[in-house]
Amino acid sequence: MTVRHFLTLLDFSPAELISVLDRADQLKQLQRDNALHESLKNKVLGMIFEKSSTRTRVSFEAGMSQLGGSAIFLSPRDTQLGRGEPIEDSARVLSGMLDAVMIRTFGHEIIQQFAKYSKVPVINALTDEFHPCQLLADMQTFREFRGSIQGKTVTWVGDGNNMCHSYINAARQFDFELNIAAPEGYAPDTELVQQNKQRVNLIPDPQRAVKGADLVVTDVWASMGQEGESDQRLSAFDGFQITPELMDHANSDALFMHCLPAHRGEEVSASMMDDSRAVVWEEAENRLHAQKALLEALLLN
Ligand code: CP
Ligand code: NVA
């Protein structure tokens, strides 16, 4: 049997993604009810973090333990990965001991290479190109507040980064329209946009881009690994901040999401973070429920 991985949203069919979200809602309710649910008893998840994390680490680690399993945090600083042991060797060895591996790294090809040699499911916990786990939580959150996202309009304002790329994949898998407002030189991957051109619209002016939006999303202007470009990016993204005033140009019941961490005063104003249209804390919590559902889908089926 071939092993299933979750490297991008395209690894699951639209129907499979919907059933992960359905399961995430059920697991959230079980958690609320304090019900013991040990579907992954004795299973062990390895978590390789080559970049920092708060939400991803805690949601995967807490999720595994709530499901009766456990997780091991692996940092390149303290493992042979950081001393140059080849990815394929690490994949063979770790997947002989673990039930699944979660990786946060730089180039997407690193995780693809790991998956190629892994005997167990590999989960993308963020690469420079994609962040699919965050999209599971975002989609679960939208459904909770507004029902199905199918046929709705989402507007991305900011950098054409890993989150933006995963929104492009989500537009395809969950069937919504995506407007992207990015400054010149910071647009998402041309090929990915081209492949999804029937539902992705590049509209550089944020005010025009949010018109008709049911959901407005942003992310930091300098991602992990781009710290050296921070000053240059600060000026390039001038005018791309999400504020309550910008949100007023979207639909009256539009929601605001941000994967966090947020930089108040840069991509989002402090007032927007406290605005009633912001659902960022619910979105963050749903990382836990959505990933527990993902782990069950990969490990039990
Ligand atoms: N949104 C997100 O992935 O957060 P962390 O970097 O804290 O994991
Ligand atoms: N685009 C951000 C997301 C952080 C969760 C980064 O890659 O740093």
State the catalytic residues: 104, 131, 134, 219, 259, 287
Helix axis angle, 87-95 to 108-117, nearest 10°: 50
Beta-carbon contacts of residue 232 (< 8 Å; ≥ 6 apart): none
Give the type of residue at 96.
G
Within 10 angstroms of residue 80's Cβ, the number of other Cβ atoms is: 12
* Of the candidates 101, 167, 158, the residue with the CA atom closest to the CA atom of residue 131: 167
Structure tokens at 133: 């786990």
Which residues are near ligand 2 (CB < 6 Å)? 126, 161-163, 219-220, 223-224, 259
Nearest residue (CA) to ligand 2, atom 1: 223
Ligand 2 atom closest to residue 224's alpha carbon, by position in its atom list: 8
Distance 220 CA to ligand 2 centre (A): 7
Per CATH, domain 9-130+284-300 is 3.40.50.1370? yes
What confidence score (pLDDT) does residue 1 get? 66
Question: Could you give the CA distance from residue 49 to residue 57 in angstroms, rounded to a whole number?
Answer: 8
- CATH 3.40.50.1370 boundaries in the chain: 9-130+284-300, 135-279
Pocket test of ligand 1: the residue of 126, 138, 162 to mutate, having most ligand atoms within 8 Å of its CB, is 126
* Amino acid at site 161: N
Among all bound ligands, the one having the nearest atom to the CA of 105 is 2
Which bin fits 158, alpha (ψ -120 to 50), beta or left (φ > 0)?
left
136: enclosing H helix or E strand: helix 132-146
Closest CA to 256 of 281, 233, 239: 281
Question: Which ligand has its closest atom nearest to the C-alpha of 230?
Answer: 2
At 2 the pLDDT is 87
How close is the Cα of 38 to the center of ligand 2, in Å?
A: 31
Closest-lying ligand 2 atom to the alpha carbon of residue 126: 7
pLDDT of residue 118: 98
Q: Rounded to the nearest whole angstrom, what is the distance from the C-alpha of residue 217 to the centroid of ligand 2?
A: 13
Q: Is the dihedral of CA 260, 266, 268, 272 positive or negative?
A: positive
pLDDT of residue 147: 98
Residues of the chain falling short of pLDDT 50: none
Two tokens at 154? 């989402």
Return the best residue to mutate from 48, 54, 164 for the ligand 1 pocket (most ligand atoms within 8 A of CB). 54
- Which residue type is seen at 94? L
pLDDT at 84: 94
Q: How far is the CA of 55 from the centre of ligand 1 (A)?
A: 5
Contact between 102 and 73 (Cβ < 8 Å): no
List phi, psi (to 5°) of 72: -120, 125
Q: Please state whether the predicted TM-score (pTM) of the whole model is above 0.85.
A: yes
Pocket of ligand 1 contains residue 56 by CB under 6 Å = yes
C-alpha R_g of the chain: 19
202 forms bridges with which residues in the sheet? Answer: 180
Dihedral over Cα of 40, 103, 290, 70: its sign? positive
Of the listed ligands, the closest to the CA of 260 is: 1
User: What CATH fold (topology level) applies to the domain 135-279?
Assistant: Rossmann fold (3.40.50)
Place of tokens 């995430």: 24
> 72 pairs with which residues across the strands?
46
Residue type, 11: D
| Residue recorded with tokens 């927007």 | 272
